[in-house]
Structure 1
Amino acid sequence: MGDPSLAHTDSIQEGTAEDADPPHKLDRKHFLTVKSHICLKKHKELLALAEKDPCRRVNLMTDTLLHVVIACNKTDLAKSIIRQMQVEKLLVKNLYGDTALHVAAAVGDSEVAKELFDKREDLIGEQNLKQETPLHKAAFYGHHEMFWCLVDQGKGSPYERREDGATMLHCAIMGNAPGLALEIAERFPLLITSRNTMAVTPLQLMVTIPGLFRSQMVLGSFESILYDFIPLEKDSNKRRQGDEEEAPGSSNDARQDEAIEEDDNEYFATQRTIRSRLPSYCGTLVDILVFPVKWVRLFLYIKIKTLYPRTRHLKKIKRTHREALKLIEYLARDPRNMEFYVLGTKQGDGGPPAASFRERGGRQDQVNAAAAAASTRRWNEPPLILGAQMGIPEFVNTILRVCPEAATYLDTHGRSVLQVAIEHGNREIVRTIREMTRGKNPILPSWLLSRVDKGTGRTILHFASAKAPEHNQDALQMQDELRWFETVRDMVPKELVYSRNAQEMTAEEMFTDSHQPMLKSCKGQLMETGRTCSGLVAAVVFASSFSIPGDKDPATGNPVYFGRTAFKVFAHAYVIGLSCAATSLVLFLSLAMSPYKEQQFRRIIPTKYFFACSSFGLAMLSFLVAFTCNIYLQLYGWQKTKSKDLVPFVLELTVFPVICFLVLFFRGSDFGLSFLLRLWR
């Protein structure tokens, strides 16, 4: 009689894991026994269990003992179990159809993998329920050594696709492993233009992975500083040895020519090092000055790394971002690839059509057809357009740098990359394109700035006049919108500044019309802030009307603490605080009475708000210092202060605020500094 668990697994593998009824029975005693033996490192007992029944299920995922041992990174024990197992038993799969080699590929245990395919070579080509081979698993989890170990065996095809049509290159990108993806693209260039069932190419897929780009990562103030501070080792630029297929247009001579051209291009002058900008005789001096700085930076980094464990994670993130940019550069280097991204869904990708990947019944065909229809419009767009839509400046900048021809392609609505970036409010991308269209011989065509939409008659200035997203509005959003409009207006040729669209409206008229709700919202927020802060200032001013600390000296009429340093600090701090409080009240009153016209949001209102907030903060700080001096004089003014008295006083005053400051700083707070700088711009 066969094993019921094996029979159940076979029934599961006839469909998908989602369609099948998962197992509900668990041999709890056996599960706890295996768990205990693994925790206590009782390898002999585990070997005995594996020898007795290697196919016995351990958990509700129907994993065998070999699956569990490999997942727990027990390499030597797993190799011992494999050696004593029969060859046919190595094909046993779990609930998702994963063999032991799938598990080894997922955890990156190349020693176990070699032991498995040395005993049974056809394991490399085995597929799970998602039709993933161990190669897919290794690529998805970013295990370089494991992936190339499996490839070098020659039994599994690197061109195999999953159920969703994803290739090895797709999997490496989805697994946030751009370093491995670059190696795969260099070794197998045909995968560069491969599409999955949703017609998504690897370069298009990258815009959906936010972890690949620094601009999409939200780091705190301290972590941002540490991220910039972390040094990364230089790449060795070594390629894998073997029969490598060279991508079209990527010969060494061509790369050298492109590097020279890039170095000489005036649009990338900002990327040159300081040393290259100085005369040759200054190079030695620069090296002498920079050399000790590098060592100090490395020393401080090592110290911070020992005190702050997250540094290792930040270094991994930074390396991933750098590798992602190199991958984009490689995938977009050949202009012929850009033509494919625009025409690929029409002329095919050199492989089977998307709908024919592993067809598994009528239901799956319907799902694939519906998904492909829903995504056709999005994935028909060139990668550069997608990057501009998603707001990923590194992605767009890298493509424009290595393949400026990509900017000449339009999206399915006839919009250029500049129009798309302006419409979505991606300002850093717009600044990059503006720099590349300047000069007498610009690298990007000037028609990007003067293009007029044929259907609507809109210029890029009309695109900039659209209202900002409501979820991104604050009290000074109107100032940002006006500054943004002025920036785009400076880019447009003079003859198009007052051009009218199909509705006979200029860009300024459109801006005024579309920003009326924002104008009212900003006015309401500013007046509400003014009322709140005015009430707080008035309350503090009246509450601070206390008597001067200490009695009067009968002989002179001055306070008895008149000559003490603390009293002098108290007097000056109180007067400064009173002055700042009065200034803040007047400015907030002025804001409440302002007419709030559109153009006033550009200069006068933000300036008033800046000084009102600054004087409010200085008033609070000054009164805090005055209150502290007053308390000190009341407690210790009658005697000569000793250190044993000062220490408790200082600790009581500073410990909790310092703790709050440090916690908030590590958690990402900038304490309003960026907001104040934004007010003043």
Structure 2
Amino acid sequence: MAEENENESYKKYGELYLAVRRGNWNAVQEFLEREPDALTAKINWKYQTPLYVAAAAGQVHVAKKLVEKLPEEKLEMQDYYGYTAITETVMRGNHELTECILNKNKKLISITNHMGNLPLIQAIYYGQLEMARYLYSLTPLDDLLPAKDYNGPNFFTYCIYTGTLDIALDLMKRHPPLGLARDKYAITPLLALASMPDLFPSGNLDRLVFWKRWIYEYCIHIPPNRDSKEIHLNVQRVETQKAKPFLSVSALLRHLVSHVQNILGIKHLYQMKLTHVQAQELLSLMCARITCLDYYERRDGCVEYAIIKAVENGIFEVASEMLKADPDLEWTFDGKKRNLLMLGVLHRQAKICSLLIGLDLNKALACYEDRETHGILHMAGMSGESRTMLNRIPGAALQMQRELQWFEETKRVFQPKVREVTNTDGLTPRELFTKEHKDMLKEGEQWLKDTSTSCTVVGALIITVVFAAAFTVPGGNDQNTGLPMFLHKRLFMLFIVSDALSLFTSSTSVLMFLGILTSRYSEDDFLKSLPTKMIIGLSTLFFSIATMMVAFSAGLLIMLRDQSWIVVPIISLASVPVSLFVWMQFPLLVDMVMSTYGPGIFDSKLKIVIN
């Protein structure tokens, strides 16, 4: 019976509901004059008043006039989900209407929905970061205290996940215990920070090209005593100025500078560095609290879990800062009884491992076994947990090489007795490595074969062309002596030398790739033998292509030396294949050289970080 009455009620307000949704204020006003009670009536199945419907539909002009008519206390009415009118405006990022409603009733900022969430939480959850900044400036600190509910910790962790670190820093300074308070998902802000590699230099700085890294290091300065809110306001002012028409030469110059900065990515790099600085400052404030915690506070603050996540994610800054704050965290173990050093090796986090190797307890940590009697060398033999790091390495062969390097480096650094320890399946570390990497071995073999086959075809074509060119020289031969007509020309000597070099290097390249194709493809071959052959093959192939183009250009100049209008464009085009090869294959060649002959995986210099 009650449901029938509600349905009749909704039908009664159907005309009003449609008028509000369509933004027809005249129709809304006429209906309210006939039915004054409709101003606060629930006109749809969500128990929403006309104001809520107008806010949800984005009809700002209708909503503003309804706010003027409503008494202050009626703005606090909630719908079926416990939402107030401000919740609808917040989720949609409608600043104008949000401000209008809050100016009439500021209590709405502290009213939670049926899930217990403040409007502030709704704003950041739905990605309305500017709205979240505005609401944060109005929300009383008492509403965010962890002793009251989960709103404070929830908001803090959302700030970290969305990279809104200026708010997180301010919140941490206003109430430091929030840094280790659990949200409704049992996650603390410290744990959230340890799960976000992109907030720190170790997470994304290595991915920058060299010139962007140079700009990041030397051209961007973040003031030490900055005010994050002032920085944000300055950015807003810059954006506002850019939107104005150009009124002067100085304004035009500012626009050109801004355009150049966009091309170089300076603004992006500035924001990246600002995020890194804010994250480091936030981390320092959190770690400063770790030293004075007892066992239960450390457990509730997820301190040990946070350093485990930092090691797994390779966030060097978090791991080192936490170890500085509390050296006892060296003895942290995960649920499978793996210590930090074992986890670092398992997840292939070289910098973290280097840090832990520098500790006085590194030998003791290396002697531990997990619940399945896997030792430190077994960790290097596993492949499942290292896939994320391996995906950054191009080519299955280089991935296999990196895995072998990890195994050999771990075996070299730690005690000999760990080499033959067996796990619960009776497998030694090397046997486990072979078992775990059999698929990768096949993928690496196939990758090398495919690459070598393609490059062999190219090399063979070059050999054919340059061999024929050596005996069909430009200008022909003298009929009496049989010598080339342009034998004494410098350009001819350049032609013949570059042609010969192209022939010799392409032949060497083909032999190297044939050596790869006929290899036995054992595990140890991937460590140095096969990569070395690939390096020589690619290098000589690149050189043969370059010298072939030089020979072609020299021959063309000899034949058409008086026709510069056609020679110059053709010679310019000759650089295209060389450039394409450099663009597509040279990065792979550099990666191979660095991987095969570069520095080792572990860096002993990092031991000074926590001393």
Distance 1:7 1:192 in 2: 47
* Distance verdict in 2 for CA 1:33–1:562, change over 3 Å: farther
Question: Which residue, out of 187, 192, 215, partners 1:200?
Answer: 187
Quick one: which amino acid aligns to residue 366 of structure 2? Answer: S
Match of 1:571 in 2: 496
Residues 126 and 134 of structure 1 are in contact (CA less than 8 Å); yes or no, is this contact kept in structure 2? yes
Distance 1:100 1:579 in 2: 79
Does the aligned pair in 2 maintain the 1:305–1:312 contact within 8 Å?
Answer: no
Give the counterpart of 1:150 among 138, 161, 173: 138
Q: Which amino acid aligns with 2:456?
A: S
- Answering whether residue 118 of structure 2 is matched by residue 133 of structure 1, we say yes
Superimposed CA distance per residue, residues 248-272 of structure 1 (whole angstroms, 9 cap, x where no aligned partner): xxxxxxxxxxxxxxxxxxxxxxxxx
Aligned to 1:389: 312
Q: Which residue in 2 is equivalent to 1:535?
A: 457
- From the superposition, tell whether residues 3 and 495 of structure 1 become closer, same or farther in structure 2 (CA, over 3 Å): closer
Equivalent residue, structure 2, for 1:372: none
Matched, 1:236 2:236: no
Q: 1:452 corresponds to which residue?
A: 368
The secondary structure found in structure 2 opposite 1:332 is: helix
Equivalent residue runs for 1:548-563 within 5 Å: 548-552=473-477, 558-562=483-487
The equivalent of 2:238 in structure 1 is none
* Alignment map for 1:462-611 (pairs within 5 Å): 462-467=378-383, 472=391, 474-501=396-423, 506-512=428-434, 514-544=436-466, 545-546=468-469, 547-552=472-477, 558-562=483-487, 566-611=491-536
Residue 179 (structure 1) aligns with: 166
Amino acid at match of 1:343: R
Cα distance in 1 for residues equivalent to 2:411 and 2:439:
22
Note the C-alpha offset of 1:565. Answer: 5.5
Q: Residues of 1 paired with 2:258 and 2:99: CA distance? A: 40
Which amino acid is 2:332 matched to? Y
Against the structure 1 CA distance between its residues 556 and 96, is the aligned structure 2 distance closer, same or farther, given a 3 Å change threshold? farther
3-state secondary structure, aligned to 1:232: coil
Q: Closer, same or farther in 2 for the Cα pair 1:671/1:54, shift >3 Å?
A: farther
Shift of 1:474: 0.7
> Partner residue of 1:117?
102
Task: Provide the rounded CA distance (Å) in 1 between the counterparts of 2:284 and 2:66.
Answer: 45
Letter in 1 for 2:155: M
Matched positions, count: 542
Matches within 5 A, 1:195-344: 195-209=182-196, 211-217=198-204, 219=207, 221=209, 227-228=216-217, 231-236=220-225, 305-308=260-263, 310-333=265-288, 334-337=290-293, 339-340=295-296, 343-344=299-300
Question: Given the superposition, is the C-alpha separation of residues 478 and 537 from structure 1 closer, same or farther in structure 2, using an over 3 Å criterion?
Answer: same
Query: CA 1:420–1:516 in 2, change beyond 3 Å: closer, same or farther?
Result: same
User: CA RMSD of the aligned region, Å?
Assistant: 5.0
Contact 1:422 1:463 in 2 (8 A): yes
TM-score normalised to structure 1 length: 0.65
Q: Please, which runs of 5 or more residues in structure 1 have no aligned partner?
A: 11-22, 35-43, 241-298, 350-378
State the secondary structure of the residue aligned to 1:195: coil
- 2:244 alignment counterpart: none
- How big is the shift at 1:385? 1.2
Q: CA deviation at 1:206?
A: 3.1
3-state SS of 1:308 partner: helix
CA distance in 2, matches of 1:588, 1:148: 63
Deviation at 1:404, TM superposition (A): 2.8
In 1: Cα distance, 2:219 partner to 2:58 partner: 37
* Structure-2 residue corresponding to 1:20: none
Distance 1:447 1:6 in 2: 76
Counterpart-to-counterpart distance in 1, 2:212 and 2:258: 15
Q: Would the aligned equivalents of 1:332 and 1:402 in 2 still touch at CA under 8 Å?
A: yes
Whole-angstrom distance in 2 between the partners of 1:657 and 1:95: 68
Distance 1:100 1:530, change over 3 A: same
Q: Give 1:490's aligned amino acid.
A: R
What is the alpha-carbon distance in structure 2 between the residues aligned to residue 215 and residue 632 of structure 1? 52
Partner of 1:352: none
Is 1:191 paired with 2:178? yes
